[in-house]
């Protein structure tokens, strides 16, 4: 009899990786899956008993507004787990929800594996003791995480970053520019304001304020890469900012490859840009209340994942009040105008790519999870 596995992924990027992991596990084990996720997981064969669209938000104050919906989904998942009695739960990112879920699953006798682990090394480190008690194995996607968890007594394995296998442009720079009727002789600056509506609303205005200032230094052209699933109305201000902006969809990697420089909202997109070797300025703005709490809780020297992987500052970071149009224009112009600064960053990004490994993260994670399932299912591993 095949196993039943609960999967909980409340973040869009984590949900995408969870879907790939589910597909790999189905091939290896024939397990059945249910849980919290979105379109990708549903297409991979997960029976969704809760949809991430109700819980996928950024920031403490933003989450508070969604608490009734989050609580309903949480109760539904707990009830379904009690009814179906899964042999294992795979928790993917989204720690505020998933660690609470892990506590209830532990009471039900459900073993838990964490894939794309909580950033407890960054803030609220006390949660690592909770993970030590509730989580059977942590599968880390960043190289520095494994030692952190192991030193805390949590079984952890670095499997690599799943993006290494995914980040591939579909077009060359010349093809991308021709497709969007953009001149080939003008440097491109890519804008990536975030993957959630709240991120775009906070990050896009200061990004756009930088563009007329950059245009004073040269005939730069700007490409805004809209994240999948976002309403196009969020990007209308880009068409009225006093600089030429081309908004493109479903072309993020192509836009990054075409760009001499990118202005990127802190998050997964910075890792994607590093894998593609695109020099960047990393920015982020939260609601004032969330930023106030973040400054007091976060315990890392950097907020950019690229700098954390490098273990030193290799890309400029502009956070909250430092994130202004003037500051963005200054940092972007330095990368565009200084051959030395650009060469140094390209070298540093190549080191980040090396640290992220050669690929195969999903396969390694699936192999470990299948091994944990071995006593309870009869389908042989490949």
- Residue ranges of the chain that CATH labels 3.40.50.2000: 4-160+360-376, 173-355
Q: How far is CA 211 from CA 25, 126, 138, 188, 374, in A?
A: 46, 42, 42, 12, 56
Residue 378 confidence (pLDDT): 45
Rounded Cα distance between 170 and 257, Å, is: 10
| % of the chain beyond a pLDDT of 70 | 88
Residue 275 predicted with pLDDT over 50? yes
Each residue's pLDDT tens digit, 220-251: 999 999 988 889 999 999 988 889 999 999 99
Q: How far is CA 173 from CA 184, 260, 276, in A?
A: 9, 10, 12
What do you get for the CA distance between the two ends of the chain, in Å?
Answer: 17
Let me know if domain 173-355 sits in CATH 3.40.50.2000. yes
Q: How far is CA 298 from CA 61, 232, 275, 290, in A?
A: 16, 33, 26, 12
Q: Tell me the pairing of strands 4-9 and 88-92.
A: parallel
Rounded Cα distance between 126 and 152, Å, is: 10
Rounded Cα distance between 303 and 277, Å, is: 19
Identify the CATH assignment for 4-160+360-376 out of 3.40.50.2000, 3.30.1490.190, 1.10.240.10, 3.40.30.10: 3.40.50.2000
Query: 81-111 burial, b for 16+ CB within 10 Å, e for fewer?
Result: beebebbbbbbbbbbebbbebbebbbeeebb
Each residue's pLDDT tens digit, 303-316: 789 999 999 999 99
Residue 23 confidence (pLDDT): 97
Per-residue confidence at 256, pLDDT binned at 50, 70, 90? very high
Q: For the residues 192-219, what does the mean pLDDT come to? A: 94
How many beta carbons lie within 10 A of that of residue 338, not counting itself?
12
Residue 65 confidence (pLDDT): 60
Residue 59 predicted with pLDDT over 60? no
Each residue's pLDDT tens digit, 322-369: 999 999 999 999 999 999 999 999 999 999 999 998 899 999 999 999
Per-residue confidence at 101, pLDDT binned at 50, 70, 90? very high
Q: Which of 314, 326, 318, 329 lies closest to 220, judged by CA?
A: 329
Each residue's pLDDT tens digit, 202-212: 999 999 999 99
Residue 33 predicted with pLDDT over 80? yes
| % of the chain beyond a pLDDT of 90 | 71
């Amino acid at each position: 009899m095949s196993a039943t596995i609960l999967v909980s992924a409340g973040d869009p990027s984590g949900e995408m990786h969870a879907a790939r992991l589910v597909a790999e596990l189905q091939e290896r084990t024939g397990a059945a899956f249910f849980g919290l996720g979105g379109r990708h997981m549903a297409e991979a064969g997960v029976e969704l008993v809760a949809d991430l669209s109700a819980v996928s938000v950024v920031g403490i104050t933003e989450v508070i507004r969604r608490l009734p919906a989050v609580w309903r989904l949480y109760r539904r998942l707990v009830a379904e787990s009690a009814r179906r009695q899964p042999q294992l739960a795979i928790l993917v990112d989204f720690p505020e929800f998933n660690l609470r879920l892990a506590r209830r699953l532990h009471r039900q006798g459900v073993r838990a594996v964490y894939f794309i682990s909580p950033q407890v090394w960054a803030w609220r480190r006390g949660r690592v003791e909770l993970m030590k008690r509730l989580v059977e194995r942590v599968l880390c996607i960043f190289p520095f995480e494994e030692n952190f968890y192991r030193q805390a007594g949590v079984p952890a394995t670095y499997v690599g970053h799943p993006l290494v296998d995914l980040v591939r442009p579909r077009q060359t720079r010349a093809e991308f520019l021709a497709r969007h009727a953009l001149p080939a002789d003008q440097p491109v600056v890519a804008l990536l304001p975030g993957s959630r509506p709240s991120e775009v609303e906070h990050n896009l205005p200061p990004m756009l304020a930088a563009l007329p200032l950059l245009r004073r230094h040269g005939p730069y052209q700007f490409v805004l890469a809209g994240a999948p699933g976002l309403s196009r109305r969020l990007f209308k201000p880009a068409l009225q900012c006093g600089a030429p902006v081309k908004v493109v969809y479903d072309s993020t990697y192509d836009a990054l490859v075409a760009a001499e420089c990118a202005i990127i909202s802190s998050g997964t997109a910075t890792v994607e840009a590093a894998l593609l070797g695109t020099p960047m300025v990393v920015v982020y703005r939260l609601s004032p209340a969330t930023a106030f709490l973040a400054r007091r809780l976060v315990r890392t020297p950097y907020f950019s994942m690229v700098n954390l992987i490098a273990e030193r500052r290799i890309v400029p970071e502009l956070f909250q009040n430092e994130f202004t149009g003037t500051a963005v224009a200054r940092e972007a112009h330095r990368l565009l105008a200084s051959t030395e600064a650009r060469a140094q960053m390209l070298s540093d990004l190549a080191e980040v790519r090396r640290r992220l490994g050669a690929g195969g993260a999903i396969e390694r994670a699936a192999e470990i999870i299948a091994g944990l399932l071995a006593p309870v299912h009869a389908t042989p591993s490949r």
